[in-house]
Amino acid sequence: MRHGGPGAGQAAGGRRLRKAHRYLEAAGAHRGAVRALSFGRLGQLALVVAVLYWGRPVLVPVALALYFAFVLTPPSNRLEQLGLPRGLSVAAVLTFGLGVLGVLGAVLVAQVADLASKIHGYSAQMSSKIAGLRGGGFKLFTESSRALSELARSVEQQLGTADHLNAVRVVPGGGSPMQRLEEVFGPVLEPLAGLALVLVLTVFMLAHREDLRGRLILLLGTQNVTVTTRTMTEAFSRVSHLLLTQAYINAAFGAVVAVGLYLIGVPYALLWGAIAGILRFVPLLGPLLATLMPTLLAFVSFPGWQQALLTVGLFLLVDLTLANFIEPLVLGKRTGVSALALLISAVFWTWLWGGLGLVLATPITVCAAVVGRHVQELRFLAVALGDEPGLNPDLNFYQRTLARASKDAYRLLRRKVAESSLVAAVDQLLIPALRLMVADQLLHAINQEAADRLVSDLDSLVTRLQSGAVQASKSRNIVGVAAESQADALMLKLLGGALAERGIALHTVPPANREEALAGTLAQAPTLICITALPPAGNTNARYLCRRLRAKLPSAYIVVLAPETEHLRTREAEARLREAGANQVVSTMNDATRLLLQESERAAAA
């Protein structure tokens, strides 16, 4: 029997059709906007990459100056706090930095020159050692030894060719004195001019940093002063902290490696330590690349394998100690950028700007992530580069269930139960998954077959989760009935598990049509009834059950569990359920469990 007659049913059906039509129109407009936005962003991205590539002569010195300004501003501020004027503090930090770089550079240049003069001897030793390995029957190393021999021979030939070329000097004829001066000093003056430009820009950025900040705020608009200030403060804090801390940690890494290699006996330990400290700015791959050359040199320089293995062990021990103990303690999560984003950024900026791009990759990536967090139009940068989870827990659970990745979905469900409780897991993962399923059905994103399969997979997860659950010990004459679908039956199963955790048994009516569900409920003459109904389809049957049960059992306490679903007029639906006879309409499992426990205690006390 249908309450209200055929006319009311046709009117309700017409309303649902009009709503569905509006949802489809909104979904089509949204998809068109997304496509237009995607093409627009791709065009903007291509334009930005082209500007970055062709503007290297101007952008690279400015970026390097900003890099040094970020690094040197904290010590300059510290000196100003101690009473030094701005000019003296800037001069002090620059002089100290240039002095350290100059001394270290002179030592490294000397070691590189000495290594280049002895490369012939090392290549001969490598060939001899590889020949010994081959003669000793190391069949496993046959292919690798051949490759190493060819590498050594190629290096030797290149160096030999360079010596022959140096022995024959070709003197160009003619040319003005200015042309000769340009040919002689041009290769030296060009990098020196670039270095001088970077130095001058760094000095001005350090000396006039407040003025630069104010001009940037004016360029972006004084109406955005709050967002601009917050973005600049966070970017400066994150980048300065990251660069200074990484510089200290990587310097310590290089120093420990240099001392360790010296104790092992590997030649040019200081050179390899400096290279290791620099390469460690490259996430993940840097320490691996720094390990190769000293290991190869140890393999060549000593008769056995002990020194080579000790070299590899040294790099592994120091890097793992820093990565797993020191860096999490000192850096924490203040960078706000994922390791994968840093690695991809290092590859991109190295391709775009060469070795200097590798140095600048980390601060540029951190700044881009900070800007994306504060500027809504650039939100995609925060999503692509940030270290936050890609999806919210409920959406992640729904996606894994929809993809039929049951192991991942079950792991997420178990983790939520372990962190809080079964009821919290139901409200925060399972019911939101059902809500998202209904929303996708309304937008025709999934069909009925896919929805039924998803409910079946969720039911399997719940069965597996409740396999070792404690059985209820008290019977309080609480009857649960599913309004219509398998999703309603799943929510009823979840409610039974939640009540069983509190020691209360829930008598459930087997899933059937509404007439049979009504008869099964009336047969038990309950005092407490809970109807589970997933909107919008379940609301119609829930109202029918409420009317019939209220007519037959006027003193029964009826609770309807109807989770709120997006795009639905939930207040109107709640009011109509109350008019039909429901005492309470709740949207969460926690509220349903709490109400049923309260009413069961009140009924038991009476």
Give the whole-number percent of the chain exceeding pLDDT 70: 77
Domain ranges of the chain: 59-160+189-210, 224-388, 393-461, 470-605
Q: Crossing angle, helix 448-465 and helix 486-501, to 10 degrees?
A: 20
For residue 470, what pLDDT is reported? Answer: 53
Rounded to 5 degrees, what angle do the CA atoms 85, 90, 91 make?
100
DSSP 268-326: SHHHHHHHHHHHTTSTTHHHHHHHHHHHHHHHHHSSSSHHHHHHHHHHHHHHHHIIIII
130/123 Cα distance (integer angstroms): 11
- Given the structure tokens 């006319």, which residue do they identify? 7
Instruction: Check whether 199 has a pLDDT greater than 70.
Output: yes
Give, in order, the Cα–Cα distances in Å from 554 to each of 268, 506, 575, 579, 582. 93, 21, 19, 14, 11
Average pLDDT over residues 469-478: 61
| Cα separations in angstroms, 555 against 147, 233, 350, 480, 601 | 89, 63, 76, 16, 16
Evaluate if residue 222 carries a pLDDT over 80. Answer: no
Spell out the long-range contacts of 220-223 with Cβ–Cβ below 8 A and sequence spacing 24 or more: none
What's the pLDDT score for residue 311? 93
Q: Decide if 202 contacts 65 (C-beta within 8 A).
A: yes
Which amino acid appears at position 121 of this protein? G
Angle between helices 5-54 and 339-353 (to 10 degrees): 40
Q: Looking at the predicted structure, is the pLDDT value of residue 8 above 50?
A: no
pLDDT one-digit tens code per residue, 529-586: 898 888 777 778 888 889 998 898 888 899 998 887 544 456 777 888 888 888 988 8
Confidence of residue 278 (pLDDT cuts 50, 70, 90): confident
Report the mean per-residue pLDDT for the chain: 77
Pick the range with the lowest mean pLDDT from 169-173, 288-292, 321-325: 169-173
pLDDT of 276 over the 60 cut = yes
Sequence-distant (6+) residues with CB within 8 A of 488 are 482, 511, 532, 533, 534, 538
Helix (H, G, I), strand (E, B) or coil at 344: helix
For the stretch 395-433, pLDDT in tens is 888 888 888 888 888 888 888 888 888 888 888 888 888
Of all residues in the chain, the percent with pLDDT exceeding 90 is 6
Tokens of 483: 């309004």
**Residue 567 region, left (φ>0) first, then alpha (ψ -120 to 50), else beta?**
left
| Cα distance between residue 245 and residue 97, in whole Å | 16
Q: How many CA atoms lie within 13 A of 285 on its CB side?
A: 9
Given this model, what pLDDT does residue 12 score?
46
Q: Tell whether the model's pLDDT for residue 342 goes beyond 50.
A: yes
Question: Region 123-128: what's the mean pLDDT?
Answer: 66
Average the pLDDT over each of 76-85, 104-113, 123-132, 214-223 and give the range with the smallest value.
Answer: 123-132
Instruction: Find the largest Cα–Cα distance for the chain.
Output: 117
Q: Tell me, what's the pLDDT at 33? A: 47
DSSP 381-438: HHHHHBSS-SS-HHHHHHHHHHTT-HHHHHHHHHHHHHHS-HHHHIIIIIHHHHHHHH
- Per the listing, tokens 């930005």 go with 48
pLDDT of residue 30: 47
Q: What is the pLDDT of residue 427?
A: 87
- Nearest CA-CA partner of 543 in 10, 12, 7: 12
Q: Could you give the angle at the alpha carbon of 132 between the alpha carbons of 130 and 133, nearest 5°?
A: 65
Supply the Cα-derived Rg of the chain in whole angstroms: 36
Of the ranges 16-20, 302-306, 465-469, the best mean pLDDT one? 302-306
Q: How far apart are the first and last CA of the chain?
A: 36
CATH of 393-461, one of 3.30.70, 1.10.3470, 1.10.1240, 2.60.40: 1.10.1240
State the Cα–Cα distance between residues 83 and 72, nearest whole angstrom: 17
Average pLDDT over residues 147-153: 55
**Of residues 114 and 253, which shows the higher confidence score?**
253
CATH class for the domain made up of 470-605: alpha beta
Task: Give residue-wise pLDDT tens across range 21-57.
Answer: 554 454 455 455 445 556 666 777 788 888 988 988 8
Q: CA 587 → CA 47, 397, 455, 535, 592, distances in Å? A: 49, 20, 19, 10, 8
The pLDDT value recorded for residue 92 is: 92
* Residues paired with 100 in a beta bridge: none
Q: Residue 431 in contact with residue 458, Cβ under 8 Å?
A: no
